[in-house]
Every structure is written in structure tokens, then in C-alpha cells.
Structure 1
Amino acid sequence: MNRPDDPTPAPPSEAALRTLPPPRHGDAPGAWPLLGHLPHLAGRPLAFLDSLPGHGDVVRVRMGTRTAHVVTHPALVRRVLTDRRSFDRSGVLYEKVRALLGNGLATCPNAEHRDQRRALQPAFHPSLLPRYTAVMAAETQALTARWRPGAVVDVTEEAFRLTTAVAVRTLFSAGITPHAAEELREALEILLRGVYTRVVAPAVDRVPSPARRRYRRALARWRTGVAAIVAAYRAAGVDHGDALSLLLAVRDEHGRALSDAELGDQVATLVLAGAETTSSVVAWALRLLADHPEAAARLHAELDGVLAGGPVTGADLPRLPYTRDVVREVLRLYPPAWAVTRTAVRETELAGLTLPPGATVICCLYLLHRRPDLFPEPALFDPGRWADAGVPRDAWLPFGLGATKCVGDVFGTAEAGLALAAIASHWRLTPVAPRPPRPVPRIVLSPGPQPMRLAER
């Protein structure tokens, strides 16, 4: 945090975007023979990424025999994410992610996206948010009811358990057994660890190893578990008023219902959006607040004043602006969608660089959010920077942009705010290990294991 007499760094203004210098392109140094930059991406990926802005706003990175173009300029990120005629969600990277999640809303090509989003949109209608926030509050209470003062918990694992439980209850209110829910959670954990490796180094799947066998077993368990849930709902034929019931009722313009395979893909998308992304935000928030006592004190003062020791509900969120700003600052520093990929489908140009059809483009939102010309002192965790200034539309994009922006953005921010408020209003968490967390790149940026000691406030 800043010293008390320091001015709070403000978010960027629209004027700051207009005065950015023209984007330039370059090449990342340090490529290995044959392997390119894969050793850097496998060993210290974020340190490698942090070095790229010094070489341009579009930087060529070699991934074995492939070349990727890492984009960090706000105008270029907007163009890549919104120019659907030039850039599509296709290519090797998306093939690997589809092998995990299927062809759902988060992974489907542009041509299928509008129809899929239309099918999922009813599950995120604003009228359903009070029902969802009630589930979020109840599950957070159930989680923390098991905590004991003096105990040590891994907040990353606890946050993942919480958001998985919320995803299961909002998706499948009819319920699944605790054993089935735990099997899905364990399988998802293995898959999320393994998919980053397979995206960066696709050849890993061709090498027999215990890790490959674990990954394939987890993938089979995940698909079998989701298929069983879909089949049970379809057989029951009862409207439970939850997300899966809404999806079962969806019909396209020809009156066709979603197939079991399509339902399974959408369930995978919703579980990922409802579990892994939000859990990383909650875990990062708890650790960053523990490392920044001034921010924690300000958060506690707000919670004590608004909640007065009572439980938090969805209706309280509009009265918790600093809590909201903590979530926004975590999303800036560690955006869940930290690297969004696209494939050029026709010859196009970025920053004076001609891209051929098939070129891989990576919009690195992690680097966009840390540009010092957009966010002063960008590495500083300071929720106060959001208090007095608006945010230009292209500087802060934790949920993506355009037609493919995350459909669950409101759901996720509400869940993160509720979880943070419920935990911080009653508990003080202290890291067991004082060393800074090392982000673990997966589909999202996870803080990795974070053992913290519990104390009641």
C-alpha cells in the first residue's frame, strides 16, 4: 500500500489511452534451438511474459515449431477480440482446451457462438441473481462453519471447494451425492493442472508417463460424471428451476433440444466459469489482504460498519464499495482469463506486422493490466485506485470483450464479493509461509497452495 501521504494511483483515463504511442512489434529473445521459448514458458512463464513488453506491443514467441504473437496494446487487444472476420477461436490451442471442456460456449468457434450464448443466456438472467447469491452466502457459511481458530487451511483449496459447491448447487439444485461432487472436483483439479502443459507443449500427450495416465483417468471420470447428471435430469423430466433445467428446456429455431453431448459441453463450461475462475480471485484476495494490512483494515472497517456482525447477503453488495474495489484490483493483477488466444483466418496486419492465415495470437490481459502507462505503479495492490476515476473500456478486461465476453461476469463478481465479505468479516488469516505466492499458470492464474492460519476477529 502507499504511505498515508502518497496520492493514490488512479486508474487510467480515456485520455491516457488516446496518448499511447503507436504500437510496435518485435521478437522475444532467448529462444532455444528446436524448443524455442518453451523452456521459459514451462519453467518461469510469468517472468518470461513480464519481459515481453520491452520488445514491443506485438511480440513473436516461438513454441517449438510454432510461432505465437503476444499482444498487449489495448487498441490491438480490442481489435483481435472483436474482429470476428479476421480472428477465430480455432487452431491447436483451442483444440487442446476443447479436449477438456468440449465444444461449449467458452471454446466453440465464432460461427457457433451466437446460438450457444442464446441457449445459455437464460441461466444468467438478472432475475435469477438473488437466488444464486442466496446459494453463495449459504455455501460460504457452510465452509467457514468447519473452520476452527488456530487451524491451518489451504485457502486456494478451500476457495475451490466453495466455488465448486456453488456451481453444483446453482447448476443442479436437485443435488448430487457428496461423493459424486467430490469426484468431479478432484477430476477437475487434475485437468486444470494438465491442460496448460498440453496447450504449451502438445507433444506431452504422446509420451507415456504417470502424469498422462492421471490426466486421462481424470478426463474419463469428468465426462462420465457429467453425463450421469445430465441423464438423471433428462430421465426425471422435472423442472427444478436451476441452470440445467433451463438448458434442458432450450429449443432452437427448428424446435430441436440440446443433445446430451451438447448439454455436457455446456455444463463443463458453467462449472469451469463458476469454480476455477472465481476461486482464484477469492484465494488471491485473501492472500493479498494478508500481505497488505492497511487494505485489510479498510475492508474490515467497511464490513463492520455495514454488516454490524451479521451475515452478508446479496442485498448488501451495493453497500460494500471497497469490497467491490478489492475484487476489481485482484482481477486487474491476476485476471482469470489471463491469456486469450485467437487464430488469424485471413491475412491481416497488427502493429505493422503481417500475419498469415493460421497465425496464433495471444491477447495477454495479465500484461495489459500491468502497463505502467495505463496503471501507475502497476505491480502495487491498491484497491483505492478505483475510488475516484472511471476505467476506460479497453484498459481493464478481466472477462474479455465483445460478443465472446464471459456470460457469467456478474455471477462471478457477486460470488467473489460475497465470499470475501463473509470470510473477512469474521476471520483474520495469516500466511504460514511469508514468501510471496508464485502464480501457477493454468487455464487461470492460480496462487498455488496457500496455507494460512485462522484467527477469529
Structure 2
Amino acid sequence: MTEIPVNTSPFTCGSAPGALPGLGHIWPLLHLPTAFLAELPAYGDLVEIRLGRTRAYVPCHPELLRQVLAGDRTFDKGGSYYDRARAMAGNGVATCPHQDHRRQRRLLQPAFNRARLEKYAEVMEQEITALAASWSPGQVIDAYPALYALSLRTVTRTLFGTHVDEEAVEGIRRSFETAFSGFFRQMFMPPALRRAPLPANLRHRRALRHLRGTVERIVASRPRDGADRGDLLSVMLASRDEDGGPGLSDAEIHDQVVTVLAAGTETVAATLTWAFLLLSRNPAEQEKLRAECAAVLGGRPARWADVERLPRAGRVVDETVRLYPPGWLFTRVATAETELAGRSLPPGATVVISPVPVHRHPGVHANAQEFDPDRWLAARAAALPRGAFVGFGSGARKCVGDAYGMTECVLALATLVSRWDVRAEPGADLRPVPLAAFYRPRRLALRLTRRTGPG
């Protein structure tokens, strides 16, 4: 008699209900992403979903999520998400497979060291101060476009220096908006339909051509004299491999530039938009943040040296990222037969990486649906299991620019909340719009009231 192997894994496996023929779970992923992903832990620690006809596995337990993120050789960047990401953004540090990653990250890492972050923070302070000064009492702003413009101006200056003209910046903005707004539609679209000359496909291709052409012109115009102009591009152009090999090629620089532009704009803007929504809904938390800013800043704009002196602002950002992670869904592919949660996965199996099931798991985070920045106080955070928070990724593929994004978000929150009280207007449409690496509210209008006094 053949013995049936017993699964001795402490983890449970299950399947999400409601898959539609041919579509699987694409509809809820595109229209109700947070709600759908947050429900998955109810079906197991490792949950099978369908991306079209493809079986995919979602780790819903912090330890399983940690294993996948740490095992970047076994679970390499690939699958439908990265197929489209590479077609659009190239083979940059955020999208490249394991075999290319170590070299690319080593060459790019110096662009994000502490000394350079301090210089970038000067640009951030200038742009944030200008935005705060441009607002008027009683004004109602469309939050995401305003914060997107802030992050785009900032990343353009820190990436290229000050020589990029406004027309080029506006062209980059339009190209990203058109190309990345259709990312998931392109990701799930059958290849034959993707190649068809449909109006949306033609707009998508034109936007990508314009983006690539703009970046190529900017990079080509930079003198190759080895001078350090204090920006990210200087580091890329001067890069040399530690083993004496060549630095980044022109094609690789192009891909890194597009990657930095994408990661440094949409993710920062989306995080700040969600943060202002959460602070608007929780006025007591907004007042606590304002009190910290008054004590530290005394009415002046926040600067690089203030970041470590604004711990509550940092906790607000962390809690926002927990509830609305910028990297909300990625795919990885098993490079060999492996086991996850006691389940055997064949080579080529798709694993969906999403922080949402763990970040909103009631068994991991107390009152998981509530906005509670103080859950990131040192003593409370230390009690969480490994893998409980992966808002910026984890392991070797953790976001190379996480400190850049965190710095900009803290500086922006501190300066803007010090000067303005924000309240969401009625009629907000908070259904998440899923884009390439983040999602944002469809529409969030904020009414501004000027603060008086030092805070």
C-alpha cells in the first residue's frame, strides 16, 4: 500500500472563491484591490488565486511573505507584472532579474548615501516650501495632482540637476500618466489584443516613445566630463564596477533614470495623498503631529536635520504605508521546484507579492483596519513578528530609494501640516485606482485652513 505523504507544515493552504471563467480574480484586483487582498487570510496562510487562467499563490502569513522576499534566487522577479514593467520601464534595478540585480544595485547605491540624501533634502525643502506658500486660505485642492507635481519637480531636480526645462518636465508627467494609468490593463490583456491598433494601445505606445525620447535627450546632453554635479545622474555616469569592469552603459542609465522617475513620483505622491486623507479623518492625530512640528520647527520649514527629530511624522508615514502600501502587487516566479507552506510549487509557478494581506491581518496587527501611528513606537513594533511590515520590500530587493522617499514624505508632512489644517471635502471617491506600483484615490479634494502661531 502506498503511503500518502502527510503535510507537517504549520501553515494552511486554501483558494479564494469567486474566480470568473477566463478572468479569474482580475475584476476584484482592478476594482476592489484592498478589500479583495485583505480578505485572503480568511482562506489560509497561502492562498491560490487566478490571474486570468494562471494559477498564482499569495503569501498571507508574515513568515511566508518573508521567505519569498528573502529568497530572491528561488522566487525571481518575473511573471506577468514584470513582463510588462520591463517592456515599459526597461531592465532597471527595480525590475531586473536576480542575475542582473547585484551589479546594478552596487553601482546605483552610492547615489542614495547619507551625504547625498542631505543634498537632495535641500531640494525637497525648497519645493515643499514653495508649495506651502502657493496655497491660499479656504482653497480646495485636488490632492493627488498637487502632490504629484511636487514629487515630480523634486525628483527631476535631484535626478538631473536644475537644467531640465518646464516643458520637458510636463512632457514626462503626461507620458507617465498615460503609460502607467493603463499598466494593469496591459498586464492582463491577451498579447494579440495588446498588439492591436486600438486607441488606448496607440496612446500607450506614443507615451512610452515620448518618455524614452525625452530621457535619452536629457542624458545625451549631459557632458561626460566626470564632474559631480550633486545629482543622481552624476553618480550613474561616474559608476565603475568594483572588480574593474565597466560602469552602467547608456542603455542601463536610461533604464535606471526611468525607474527613479517612476518610483520617486507616483509612490511619494500616493503616500502623501493617503496620509492627508487619514489625518483628515483623524483630527486628533493631526493635532498631535502639529504639536510635534511646533516644538521642533517653531514655524520654519522642515529640513534634513529635523527628520530624526520628528518621530511622530515618521510613524504617520509608516502607518500610512501599512494601510496603503505603494508596492501593492508584484509577481515572482519560482526558478526551480520548491516548497512553500508545505505545498510543492513547480518551476515557473507564479507567486503574487502583496503587503496588504499581512499589513491588514487582524492576527498580526491589533485593530488592523484602524489608523494608529503609535503602533510603530519602538516597544510595540518590536513585538511584531518578522515580515509583519514590508512596505518598502525586504531582503536583497528592498527598495534602494526607501530613505529618499521616507525623507521627502516626512519633510512634506511636517511643513504642510505646520502651516495648514487639511479637511477632506464631501464627495471624495476613495476607490483605489491601481497603477504600476501603487494605488491612489480616484478623487480626494482637501480644503485648506491656515494655521496661526508657531505650529
Q: TM-score, normalised by structure 2?
A: 0.92
* Alignment-mate amino acid for residue 372 of structure 2: D
Cα deviation code 1:298-331 (max 9, x no counterpart): 1111112221212211111222111111111101
The residue aligned with 1:16 is none
The residue aligned with 2:405 is 412
Partners of 2:226 and 2:403 in 1: CA distance? 29
1:438 counterpart = 2:431: yes
The residue aligned with 2:127 is 139
* 4+ residue segments displaced more than 6 Å: none
SS of 2:276's partner is: helix
SS of 1:341's partner is: strand
Cα deviation code 1:341-368 (max 9, x no counterpart): 2100111111222111111101220111
Structural mapping, 1:211-360, within 5 Å? 211-234=200-223, 238-252=227-241, 253-360=243-350
Structural mapping, 1:185-224, within 5 Å? 185-203=173-191, 205-224=194-213
Q: TM-score, normalised by structure 1?
A: 0.91
Partners of 2:126 and 2:46 in 1: CA distance? 45
The residue aligned with 1:179 is 167
Match among 433, 451, 456 for residue 445 of structure 2: 451
1:382 counterpart = 2:372: yes
Match among 376, 382, 395 for residue 402 of structure 1: 395
Evaluate the alpha carbon distance shift between residue 379 and residue 436 of structure 1 in structure 2; reply closer, same or farther with a 3 A threshold. farther
Partners of 1:245 and 1:206 in 2: CA distance? 37
The residue aligned with 1:5 is none
Whether the 8 Å contact between 2:77 and 2:331 is mirrored in structure 1 is: yes
Partners of 1:295 and 1:207 in 2: CA distance? 50
Gapped regions of structure 1 (runs ≥ 5): 1-20
User: How far is the alpha carbon of 1:230 from its aligned partner?
Assistant: 0.7
Cα deviation code 1:44-87 (max 9, x no counterpart): 23332232211112111112221111111111111111123321
Whether the 8 Å contact between 1:333 and 1:369 is mirrored in structure 2 is: yes
Whether the 8 Å contact between 2:159 and 2:231 is mirrored in structure 1 is: yes
Partners of 2:178 and 2:11 in 1: CA distance? 39
Partners of 1:41 and 1:91 in 2: CA distance? 16
Partners of 1:55 and 1:146 in 2: CA distance? 49
Whether the 8 Å contact between 2:13 and 2:45 is mirrored in structure 1 is: yes
1:422 counterpart = 2:409: no
Is the deviation greater in 194-203 or in 356-365? 194-203
Whether the 8 Å contact between 1:340 and 1:364 is mirrored in structure 2 is: yes
The residue aligned with 2:4 is none
Whether the 8 Å contact between 1:168 and 1:175 is mirrored in structure 2 is: no
Match among 39, 50, 56 for residue 68 of structure 1: 56
1:88 counterpart = 2:76: yes
User: How far is the alpha carbon of 1:207 from its aligned partner?
Assistant: 4.5
Partners of 1:385 and 1:249 in 2: CA distance? 42
Partners of 2:212 and 2:443 in 1: CA distance? 26
Partners of 1:266 and 1:96 in 2: CA distance? 16
Evaluate the alpha carbon distance shift between residue 202 and residue 157 of structure 1 in structure 2; reply closer, same or farther with a 3 A threshold. farther
* Alignment-mate amino acid for residue 225 of structure 1: T
1:46 counterpart = 2:57: no
Whether the 8 Å contact between 1:173 and 1:242 is mirrored in structure 2 is: yes
Partners of 1:271 and 1:315 in 2: CA distance? 25
Partners of 1:62 and 1:341 in 2: CA distance? 12
Partners of 2:356 and 2:31 in 1: CA distance? 18
The residue aligned with 2:5 is none
* Alignment-mate amino acid for residue 110 of structure 1: H
User: How far is the alpha carbon of 1:235 from its aligned partner?
Assistant: 5.7
**Matched positions, count:** 437
Match among 125, 136, 146 for residue 113 of structure 2: 125
Is the deviation greater in 206-215 or in 380-389? 206-215
User: How far is the alpha carbon of 1:222 from its aligned partner?
Assistant: 0.7
Cα deviation code 1:233-274 (max 9, x no counterpart): 146764312110111011233442422211110001111221
Partners of 1:213 and 1:147 in 2: CA distance? 37
Whether the 8 Å contact between 2:34 and 2:356 is mirrored in structure 1 is: no
Gapped regions of structure 2 (runs ≥ 5): 1-8
The residue aligned with 1:13 is none
Partners of 2:20 and 2:112 in 1: CA distance? 46
Whether the 8 Å contact between 2:317 and 2:409 is mirrored in structure 1 is: yes
Partners of 1:256 and 1:352 in 2: CA distance? 43
The residue aligned with 2:3 is none
Partners of 1:34 and 1:185 in 2: CA distance? 34
Whether the 8 Å contact between 2:430 and 2:441 is mirrored in structure 1 is: yes
Partners of 2:38 and 2:245 in 1: CA distance? 50
* Alignment-mate amino acid for residue 279 of structure 1: A
Across the aligned residues of Structure 1 and Structure 2, the Cα RMSD in angstroms comes to 1.8
User: How far is the alpha carbon of 1:105 from its aligned partner?
Assistant: 0.1
User: How far is the alpha carbon of 1:39 from its aligned partner?
Assistant: 2.7
Partners of 1:415 and 1:219 in 2: CA distance? 27
SS of 2:271's partner is: helix
User: How far is the alpha carbon of 1:194 from its aligned partner?
Assistant: 1.3
